[in-house]
Structure 1
Amino acid sequence: MRKRMLSHLAPSLMLLLCVPSPALAEQATKPNIIFIMADDLGPGWVDFDGSNAEVNTPNLERLAKSGMVFTQAYAAASVCSPTRAACITGMSPAQIGLTTHIPGIAGNERPAPKGGPRDAESLTHLPLEMPSYARELKKQGYTTAFIGKWHLAGEGSTKSKDGIVDSRYHPEHFGFDSNIGGCAYGQPRSWFDPYRNATIKNRKKGEYLTDRLGDEAVAFIEKNRDAPFHLSLWLYQVHTPIKAPKELVKKNGGNAFLAMLESMDGAIGKVLDALDATGTLENTMIVFYSDNGGDKPTKWLADKKGSLLEGGIRVPMAVSWPGVIEEGTHCDTAVNSMDFFPTFVHAAGGSTREIPQLEGLDLRPLFEGGDSLDRDALFWHYPHNRPDVRYFMGGAVLEGDWKLYEGYGTIPDALFNLKKDPMEKMNLLKENPERADQLRRKLHDWRRRVTARMPPSKSELKSSHPKGNSQ
């Protein structure tokens, strides 16, 4: 019947019907890209890894079932700011020079153990000259938005009245057309309206921050449905302070942490529903990820946030991309924070050939069913001490199943076989000295390549502090 009706139309009108508008043509060839990042969320606290029956995250499970779960996803650092910088730039924290969380109270970094190495220098903001995937996506015609936690714009945020320390380093200066929530804060000043955050307009007293960020994400999707868009939705969940709406806390048996997880999942559900309602879901890549291991430990991994053991750097990750990623799949290949930059830019039709400093790899071969990447090893560099929570400086290298931890003079070096010992209980350094030496050489070579800043030597400290005061 439809063919018969079309045959009676004028040729000129038939031509108009057959030729898509430029906006629709561009939308059909360039996927929308949504990057959702949780804060301080380790594996074991989402439904799609099936680790904790108390967790209620059905929307994340829905996302994961529609695409691929990554079982060996790593953060570039064990704390937040360096990982966030690595995601934006495609460069390691060591190469950027931002290797620890930007302190909330300026000049109050924790002292080293008595007689041990002192912290290396670390930047207190992300430099404007660094690459940004948002800038590259704009070159490809994308409308871009940042919603949520940034934590890359200056130290001393907890003493500011509104989270603004230096607005020159806010998301809008890194290629994002709009910014809601992104400032120097590493955690919310308030989870409830009034938010005391100058990058979010107060709307309704008592409104929960995550609900608001979810609404803003929906508004962005609805407004930009007709052309390629990118949204970085970097939620403040589940960073301390652990607070959630009373009704959700009550629903979760008084457990505010589980209530926060459910609230986060609700915001993600809003995004999925908005994509479905606007007809953009089928042409959208959605990434879910976390900035570091959990402050609340993962039962089946050693340690937690702040540590270079697996519990500090392994994170949950799922990616959905209809038509590219097969539903209900999983990938065991190790991936990390720097990989998002080339993945997003290449998926959008851009090139990274003129950005040689990138350390990430395009993940699309894995999305399409491949089982490996052209990468020799993953590296970490954390030249900082946090003795108040028993975490000390060190570096690490992961090659296949083998992981070497180098203690930088604070705690003993260790070699683990993660396949046989995922909890990192057995130090195999003495039994495998040749392998340890090989991995140590790789770690040292990588540090030299990226000009990593190391803890100052005693002679450097002495020349900087002639009276012997190294603080």
Structure 2
Amino acid sequence: MKAKNLIQVIAWLGVGCSSFLSAAKQPNIVFIMADDLGPGWVDFDGSHPEMHTPNLERLADTGMVFNQAYAAATVCSPTRAACITGMSPAQIGLTTHIPGRAGNERPAPDGGPRDAEFVKHLPLDLPSYARELKKLGYATSFIGKWHLAGEGSHGTKDGIVDSRYHPEHYGFDTNIGGCAYGQPKSWFDPYKNGTIENRKKGEYLTDRLGDEAVSFIEANQDQPFHLSLWFYSLHTPIKAPRDLVKRNGGNAYLAMLESMDHAIGKVLDALEATGTRDNTMIVFYSDNGGWKPTSWLNDKKGSLLEGGIRVPMAVSWPGVIAGGSTTDTPVTTMDFFPTFVHAAGGSTQAITQLEGLDLKPLFEGGELERDALYWHYPHNRPDVKYYMGSSILVEGKWKLYAGLGTIPDALFNVKDDPMETNNVLSDQPELAERLRKRLNGWLTQVDAKMPQSDGI
């Protein structure tokens, strides 16, 4: 063999071996979730120049921004359950937020149907991505808001309703902050949270969660690790340290946002300092649409209009995702389970309940083979434009609402009409009927619970 050809073969073998070894190394997985943050409120997709989220922009610059990311629900608990299990809220039976006050379901509006029944904690027998990652040798930690552990947290002194349903029973080695609370009893130490030890009076909760995340990374840098860092920010009550509020012109909401971004910066710095950044997938996501509306979408948290279910999302994974990339492909909450487990070298073939798809083809510039996305929210929301929930389907640019007898059915082209102002249902009867059949088939498949008329 000629010397030149031999050199080429050796070089090829070197690259091949290097790629094989790199692919064989399990990536660390960091899943960061904001609370009640809609699109437009972070620098990487923002419309508010007064925002200050440089670390989220730093994260997005090294990865992919998702321009049509959805949450599985328009409120927090069901999306969080869908994250953990890879199952839709309708299939789980946890379709709205778990009440802070026991028995706090909303009454029927004007004699209409009552809320559908729903479970008040995450069932222990469902799949959990944390359990799967533990089987694959990962150290796992949950830090932040859980809101899947029973109703009535407002009536407790510490947010603990039933500790059997805390994160440590779903595959997380450690839990700091995760209990039944849907919002913090106190943003400042003492936290009045039974899963966080008080440390320094007056310390801000978001700062503390960032510090705990750094400690976990430092302690587990020599093995594969998974961190679910699910902030309580930016849930009400809107409170932040005085210096940050002052720096943001008296705007406490922007101060909370900056504080969360600063905590995320701590995580990025810790990954770089420990030498683990290049082998870490980082996901940033939100649990539902914004408490503050998005300027180019209709409505907000609590609504199934786009403003209630669209969320900001960015993923960074060096060596897999090209920096500065974007995608317009719709993705949803249930996709995280298979994405995480497959990235770690595991299989989900035996977990037949999963409704999500592995996002890696998108990460690598490919496509997802998915027909449609589905939602089911059979609950009353008097604080949003669609007073009663409905079932919806998104297929490509089309979004169909089935009003469950309480709101008019509707069909929108959300690509051309993201504000959902032009209902084209009467103009597209055949399309609407085809989509309705597909939606009804899914509702039957997951045994979705429906609103109940009085006396039923």
TM range (shorter): over 0.9
1:235-270 superposed Cα distances (whole Å, 9 cap, x missing partner): 000000000000000000000000000000000000
CA distance in 2, matches of 1:409, 1:295: 27
The amino acid across from 1:247 in the alignment is D
- Matching residue of 2:68: 72
CA distance in 1, matches of 2:107, 2:261: 38
Residue pairs, 1:150-169, within 5 angstroms:
150-169=146-165
Which aligned runs of 4 or more in structure 1 are off by greater than 6 angstroms? 25-28
User: Which of 346, 352, 369 does residue 374 from structure 1 map onto?
Assistant: 369
Shift of 1:407: 1.3
User: Which of 171, 186, 192 does residue 190 from structure 1 map onto?
Assistant: 186
The amino acid across from 1:295 in the alignment is W
Matched residue SS, 1:114: helix
2:418 is equivalent to residue 422 of structure 1: yes
CA distance in 2, matches of 1:79, 1:329: 29
The amino acid across from 2:378 in the alignment is P
CA distance in 2, matches of 1:140, 1:446: 32
Residue pairs, 1:97-112, within 5 angstroms:
97-112=93-108
Is this contact kept in 2: 1:287–1:320, CA < 8 A?
yes
The amino acid across from 2:410 in the alignment is A
Residue pairs, 1:406-445, within 5 angstroms:
406-445=402-441
Is this contact kept in 2: 1:304–1:312, CA < 8 A?
yes
User: Which of 284, 288, 291 does residue 284 from structure 2 map onto?
Assistant: 288
Q: Which runs of 5+ in 1 are unaligned?
A: 1-24, 465-471
Is this contact kept in 2: 1:377–1:400, CA < 8 A?
yes
Shift of 1:439: 0.9
User: Which of 49, 53, 56 does residue 53 from structure 1 map onto?
Assistant: 49
2:206 is equivalent to residue 210 of structure 1: yes
User: Which of 145, 151, 156 does residue 149 from structure 1 map onto?
Assistant: 145
Shift of 1:50: 3.1
2:345 is equivalent to residue 349 of structure 1: yes
Is this contact kept in 2: 1:181–1:199, CA < 8 A?
yes
1:374-404 superposed Cα distances (whole Å, 9 cap, x missing partner): 1100000000002244531211100000001
The amino acid across from 1:374 in the alignment is E
2:382 is equivalent to residue 387 of structure 1: yes
Paired residue total: 435
RMSD of aligned Cα (Å): 1.2
**Identity in percent:** 77
Is this contact kept in 1: 2:43–2:53, CA < 8 A?
yes
CA distance in 2, matches of 1:121, 1:26: 48
- Matching residue of 1:62: 58
The amino acid across from 1:294 in the alignment is G
Shift of 1:187: 0.2
Matched residue SS, 1:289: strand
Is this contact kept in 2: 1:418–1:424, CA < 8 A?
yes
1:327-350 superposed Cα distances (whole Å, 9 cap, x missing partner): 100011000000000000000000
- TM-score of the superposition, structure 2-length normalised? 0.94
CA distance in 2, matches of 1:160, 1:439: 45
Is this contact kept in 1: 2:336–2:358, CA < 8 A?
yes
Is this contact kept in 1: 2:29–2:227, CA < 8 A?
yes
1:118-163 superposed Cα distances (whole Å, 9 cap, x missing partner): 1110100000001000000001000000000000000000111100
1:316-375 superposed Cα distances (whole Å, 9 cap, x missing partner): 0000000000010001100000000000000000000110110000000000111x2111
- Matching residue of 1:309: 305
User: Which of 264, 267, 274 does residue 263 from structure 2 map onto?
Assistant: 267
CA distance in 1, matches of 2:389, 2:224: 42
- Matching residue of 1:17: none
2:227 is equivalent to residue 227 of structure 1: no
Q: Per the alignment, do residues 447 and 194 of structure 1 end up closer, same or farther by CA in structure 2, a change over 3 Å counting?
A: same
Matched residue SS, 1:430: helix
Greater Rg by CA: 1
- Matching residue of 1:337: 333
- Matching residue of 1:236: 232
Q: Per the alignment, do residues 43 and 281 of structure 1 end up closer, same or farther by CA in structure 2, a change over 3 Å counting?
A: same
CA distance in 2, matches of 1:340, 1:388: 30
The amino acid across from 1:223 in the alignment is A
CA distance in 2, matches of 1:41, 1:196: 24
Shift of 1:170: 0.2
